[in-house]
Amino acid sequence: MIAYKGDILYAPTPDRFTVIENGYVLVGDDGKVVATGGSLEALLEATSRGDSDGVDVADQSCTTDETDSITIVDRTGSLIIPGFNDLHVHAPQYPQAGLGFDYELLPWLEKYTFPTEAKYADIDIADHWYRRFITHMWQVGTLRFSAFATLHNEATLRLMQLCQESGLKPLIGKVNMDRNSPNYLVEDTDDSLSSTEQLIQQSRKLTPDIGFIITPRFVPSTTPELMVGLGELAQRYDVPVQSHLDENRNEIDWVRELHPDIPTYTEVYEQYGLMPNNRTIMAHCIWLTDRERAILKDHGVWLAHCPQSNMNLTSGIMPVRRNLDYGLKVSIASDIAAGHEPNMNRHIVTAIEASKMKTFETGYEHDRPLSLSEAFHMATKVGGSFFGKVGSFEPGYDFDALVIAEDESLLELSPEERLERFIYAGSSRDIAERYVSGRLIDKPFA
């Protein structure tokens, strides 16, 4: 086992941080957290007994011989926090980040996104830009993410292979689109389904640490026949689903025109089998009706809140407090490239700021803005929960962690204040080390 020493900080619940100054995270050979506490001796005693007398201990114990061989990784003075988890990102759009924000969603897709994604038919272009994208995600401490690729099989498989090589553990989806798309970026329905199934099978053999996720772009670009087929694939192979929902009012009107007999945008996905219980991510969800909230809650859907993207494309501001109070699972996501930077600390800040701005809207004056602990919880544990026990230092969780180097200050700052400063004013340069499932991950492709 390995004991990581430093100022430990994580958010097992949204209302508060757990902070252990000059403490330890004990990690087993399987890369999972065994215990956290302020005294290594107490941790070892508790784990040897297999109980949790005053410390948080996993359901496993260690013998005296094992405790003698524990390695201590001493990062005294540094913060040790969970890695970030981003549930909505478009990997091929990375080269267009920062472009086109005078447009709303649909014209932005036509002018920038579709021409960019079409270039990934060239495998050399795909390889070059996907390497840059993965390296940037590593730099900013996003250790797991759920990414849209493009409709190109070869490029999508290359993205998965590069992620496998990098040591990060994302979910990757080949985008499906067989209508209402440019001629150079539209698929035959049967080809879309067969190529998706082929990728599912290939990924299980070639990229065992990288999950596949069914990815219809959104309802306007997928025919009912394609959606039915994708829903059947999701069920047959027990793979999750991701897409977009209620992002832009013009988009919602378009869905209503395409499916006049289905009451809501949410129910289109539901009707076609694209909302498997506790296995679905829907991005944006700004303009939900109460009927849709009830359906999403019933299916255990993760809502990927993308505030920077939503403001860039003038889509709106999610009423995040109301969704949380309703009992929905809400994470924070970057939505590269409608969000112009992948850094999750920036998206935590934007989510907090957007929740404050929402209270200036009529009818929302009494909503409580997000606190730092809530937003951090959303960007770590809530997003991580889509991958399993990820995003916290509770016993049994994968040790996905960032070591934030000690920073000089005029003030005597608590660990919570140091985290706040990193979230609001820090950068990737402050991240000294990154761990995924207990494994130190060096810079990819270096």
CATH of the domain at 304: 3.20.20.140
Looking at the fold, whether 132 and 220 belong to one and the same domain comes out as: yes
Sign for the CA dihedral angle at 312, 318, 319, 324 comes to negative
| pLDDT score at 59 | 42
Model confidence band, residue 63 (pLDDT cutoffs 50, 70, 90): very low
* pLDDT at residue 440 greater than cutoff 80: yes
pLDDT in tens, 285-325: 999 999 999 999 999 999 999 999 999 999 999 999 999 99
* pLDDT at residue 111 greater than cutoff 70: yes
Model confidence band, residue 52 (pLDDT cutoffs 50, 70, 90): very low
Q: Establish if 445 belongs to a structural domain.
A: no
Q: Which domain holds residue 236?
A: 84-387
Looking at the fold, whether 180 and 273 belong to one and the same domain comes out as: yes
- Helix, strand, or coil (residue 17): strand
Phi-psi region of 3 (alpha: psi -120 to 50; beta: other; left: phi over 0): beta
Model confidence band, residue 64 (pLDDT cutoffs 50, 70, 90): very low
Q: Establish if 138 belongs to a structural domain.
A: yes
Q: Decide which of 370, 387, 404 is a domain's last residue.
A: 387
Q: What is the mean pLDDT of residues 379-388?
A: 98
Looking at the fold, whether 206 and 344 belong to one and the same domain comes out as: yes
- Looking at residue 369, what DSSP letter applies? P
Model confidence band, residue 21 (pLDDT cutoffs 50, 70, 90): very high
Q: What is the mean pLDDT of residues 99-116?
A: 97
**The length of the chain, given as a count of residues:** 446
Looking at the fold, whether 123 and 143 belong to one and the same domain comes out as: yes
Q: What is the mean pLDDT of residues 63-77?
A: 75
Q: Cβ–Cβ contacts within 10 Å for residue 49, how many?
A: 11
Q: What is the mean pLDDT of residues 11-35?
A: 96
Looking at the fold, whether 130 and 269 belong to one and the same domain comes out as: yes
Q: Establish if 233 belongs to a structural domain.
A: yes
Q: What is the mean pLDDT of residues 356-378?
A: 97
Least confident of 20-29, 56-65, 207-216: 56-65
Looking at the fold, whether 363 and 415 belong to one and the same domain comes out as: no
Q: Establish if 267 belongs to a structural domain.
A: yes
Looking at the fold, whether 245 and 348 belong to one and the same domain comes out as: yes
Q: Establish if 76 belongs to a structural domain.
A: yes
Cα pseudo-dihedral 142, 251, 93, 311, rounded to 10 = -60
| pLDDT score at 41 | 83
Model confidence band, residue 40 (pLDDT cutoffs 50, 70, 90): confident
> What's 50's domain CATH number?
2.30.40.10
Looking at the fold, whether 218 and 352 belong to one and the same domain comes out as: yes
Contacts for 95 with CB less than 8 Å, ≥ 6 apart: 116, 129, 337
| pLDDT score at 67 | 52
66 or 328, higher pLDDT: 328
Q: What is the mean pLDDT of residues 30-53?
A: 79
* pLDDT at residue 55 greater than cutoff 80: no
Q: Establish if 327 belongs to a structural domain.
A: yes
pLDDT in tens, 402-426: 999 988 888 899 999 999 999 999 9
Model confidence band, residue 50 (pLDDT cutoffs 50, 70, 90): low
Q: Cβ–Cβ contacts within 10 Å for residue 274, how many?
A: 22
Element (H, E) at 253: helix 249-258
Q: Decide which of 368, 387, 406 is a domain's last residue.
A: 387
443 or 50, higher pLDDT: 443
How far is 278 from 276, CA to CA, in rounded Å? 6
Q: Establish if 39 belongs to a structural domain.
A: yes
* pLDDT at residue 237 greater than cutoff 60: yes
Q: Cβ–Cβ contacts within 10 Å for residue 188, how many?
A: 11
* pLDDT at residue 244 greater than cutoff 80: yes
Instruction: Please give the tally of structural domains in the chain.
Output: 2
Looking at the fold, whether 130 and 209 belong to one and the same domain comes out as: yes
Looking at the fold, whether 228 and 246 belong to one and the same domain comes out as: yes
What average pLDDT is seen over the chain? 94
Reported as half-sphere exposure (CB side, CA atoms, 13 A), residue 93 has a value of 27
Looking at the fold, whether 70 and 106 belong to one and the same domain comes out as: no
What pTM was estimated for this model as a whole?
Answer: 0.95
| pLDDT score at 446 | 76
| pLDDT score at 45 | 76
| pLDDT score at 54 | 40
43 or 149, higher pLDDT: 149
How far is 431 from 317, CA to CA, in rounded Å? 30
Nearest of 168, 123, 169, 174 to residue 149 by alpha carbon: 174
Looking at the fold, whether 245 and 325 belong to one and the same domain comes out as: yes
Model confidence band, residue 53 (pLDDT cutoffs 50, 70, 90): very low
In Å, the largest CA–CA distance within the chain is: 68
pLDDT in tens, 136-149: 999 999 999 999 99
How far is 190 from 143, CA to CA, in rounded Å? 34
* pLDDT at residue 212 greater than cutoff 90: yes
